[in-house]
Amino acid sequence: MLKDLKVVFMGTPDFCVPILESLIENCNVIGVVSQPDKEVGRKKEIKFSPIKEVALKNNLNIFQPIKIKTNYQDILDLNPDIIITCAYGQIIPKAILDYPKYGCINVHASLLPKLRGGAPIHHAIIDGYNETGITIMYMDEGMDSGDIIEQSVTKIEDSDTVETLHDRLSLMGRDLLIKTLPSIIDGTNKRIKQDEKDVTFGYNIKRKEELINFNKTSREVFNHIRGLNPFPGGYFTLNKKTVKVYKVNEINDNKYQDKENGEIVKIDKESFYIKVIDGLIQVLEIKFEGKKKMKVQDFLNGNQNNLLGIIVNKGVNNEK
C-alpha cells in the first residue's frame, strides 16, 4: 500500500533526513521541497540543505521556492496523494494544504499543544520540561495548530543536550510516521483537536537569548546551557571576550552567598565555578571566539591569569 503512495516531502535541516530516507524506502517520493540554497562563509560558497543533499543522491525532483506562498504550482502539478512536512521553514499556503487527497501531514518535535514553533527541542530543555516527544498532525493554516493524529513520548534526562534530544526525536519521528501512515490512508486514524488552553510556544532562539543570565537558579542556568548545546551555544563575556559554554554541572554550595551572581568564586584543576542565586555553576568546556572548543582544564593550564573575583558579563545587559 505505501509503495504506491505518491509523496511530496517538504523539509530542510538535518532533523528531517531520517524521515525522508525512510519515506524513500517505503513510499513513492515524487518530489522534495526545501529552502533555497545559502551562501556561507567569507567566500560565500553555496551550501545545500541536508534535505536537498538526500534528494540529489536519490535523483528526486527538487523545488526551492523563495516564497512558497506564491510559487507552488510545480508542486501541485506532481499530483501528490499526500504532502509530508517537517521543519520546512515557511508557512504552507491553503492551496497546498487543500490539495492532496490524504491531506498535508506534519512531523513536529514536541507533544502538541506544548511548544508550537520553530525551536521546540531547545525550549523543551531550557524551559525545564520533564518529557517531550513527537506529534504527527494534520496541518492547517495556523502554526502547528492542526489536529493531532499520533504522539510518542520520551523522557528528558539531565544528561540530555539539544544535540542528543534532537537526534533521538529525529529517529522517533521517522518511526512514528511510518507506523501512522497506513491509518491515515485507510481513514482509521485518530483526529484530536488541540486544547488551546494548554498551548505553549518554542519560538526560534534569538541572539539575545543565547546570553547566559547568572541571576537565576543553578537549575535554570544548567537547563539554559544544555538547551543550547551545541547549537547555537550559550555564552558569557569574560574580559570583554565572548565565551561559548558547552559542558557544565550545577553545584549545591551556598558558602559564597556574599559574592555577586556571575562572579568566578572557585577554581580547581579542571574547572572554574560561577556563583548563581542558589549555588554554583561548574564550567568544564568552553570556546573563545575564533578558537576551538576546549576543556577548561586545558585553558587553565595555558592561562596563568587569576580568574578569581572576575565577574562575567561585566558591562553586558544581564537582567535580574
Structural domain of 238: 207-301
For the cut 70, the answer to whether the pLDDT of residue 20 exceeds it is yes
**CB distance 20 to 51 below 8 Å:** yes
Is residue 315 situated within a structural domain? no
pTM: 0.95
146 in any annotated domain:
yes
Residue 100, pLDDT > 70, answer yes
Do 183 and 211 share a domain, yes or no? no
Mean pLDDT score of the chain, rounded to an integer? Answer: 95
108, 222: one domain: no
Confidence of residue 255 (pLDDT cuts 50, 70, 90): very high
Instruction: Say what the pLDDT of residue 239 is.
Output: 85
The pLDDT of residue 262: 97
- Residues of the chain above pLDDT 90, percent: 89
The answer to whether residues 165 and 194 belong to one domain is yes
The total of structural domains in the chain comes to 2
pLDDT of residue 270: 93
What are the tens digits of pLDDT across the range 164-211? 999 999 999 999 999 999 999 999 998 999 999 999 999 999 999 999
Provide the pLDDT for residue 318: 59
Domain co-membership, 225 together with 137: no
The 10s digit of each residue's pLDDT in 215-253 is: 999 999 999 999 999 999 999 999 889 999 999 999 999
Angle between helices 162-186 and 17-26 (to 10 degrees): 30
Same domain, 45 and 174: yes
Q: Tell me, yes or no, whether 317 lies in a domain.
A: no
pLDDT tens-digit map of 42-55:
788 899 999 999 99
Instruction: Please tell me the predicted confidence (pLDDT) of residue 172.
Output: 98
Give yes or no: residues 155 and 232 share one domain: no
Q: Are 111 and 77 in contact (CB under 8 A)?
A: no
Lowest-confidence segment of 17-21, 56-60, 128-132, 268-272 by average pLDDT: 268-272
Give the C-alpha separation, 215 to 293, whole Å: 25
Cell numbers at 86, concatenated: 517537517
Whether 295 maps to a domain, the answer reads yes
Query: How would DSSP label each residue in 203-259?
Result: PPPPGGGGB--SSS-HHHHHHHHHTTTTTT-EEEEETTEEEEEEEEEEE---TTTTS
307 domain-assigned: no
CA distance 209 to 23: 36
Same domain, 251 and 138: no
Q: Of 174, 198, 222, which one is at a domain's C-terminal end?
A: 198
Does residue 308 fall inside a structural domain? no
Q: Does residue 68 share a domain with residue 151?
A: yes
CATH code where residue 294 lies: 3.10.25.10
Distance CA 283, CA 275 (A): 11
